[in-house]
Copies of this chain bind each other. A is one copy, B any other.
Amino acid sequence: MKRNIGSVLALYPTPAVVIGTMMGDKPTWLLAGHVGIIGHDRIMVSLYKPHYTNQGIKATGRLSVNVVDEKLLPRADYVGITSGAKTDKSGVFEWHLGEGQTPVIEDSPLVMECEVTDNYETETFDNFVCKINATHVEEDCLDENGKVDYNKLKPVLFEMPTYSYLRTGEMIGKCTQPGKEYRENL
Binding site for B on A (CB under 8 A): 1-15, 17, 33-44, 46, 48, 65, 67, 70, 73-82, 99, 104, 110-112, 120, 122-125, 127, 129, 131-139, 142-143, 145-151, 154-183
Contacts and interface: CB of A to CB of B under 8 A. Distances in A.
Contact of A166 (B35, B160, B170): B170
A64 to B, nearest CB: 12
| A8, A82, A120, A174 interface centre (most CB from chain B within 10 Å) | A8
Copies of this chain, complex-wide, total 2
A167 B172 contact: yes
Contacts of A142: 3, 5
Contacts of A12: 15, 148, 150, 155
Contact of A77 (B38, B138, B150, B175): B175
Contacts of A176: 77, 80-81, 163
Nearest to A96: B2
A7 B159 CA distance: 27
A9 B35 contact: no
B164 A175 contact: yes
A159 B9 CA distance: 21
Contacts of A147: 161-162
Contacts of A170: 166-167, 169
Given A4-B99, A148-B159, A165-B174, 9 more contacts: A3-B142, A6-B134, A10-B110, A10-B148, A12-B148, A150-B162, A154-B169, A163-B175, A166-B168
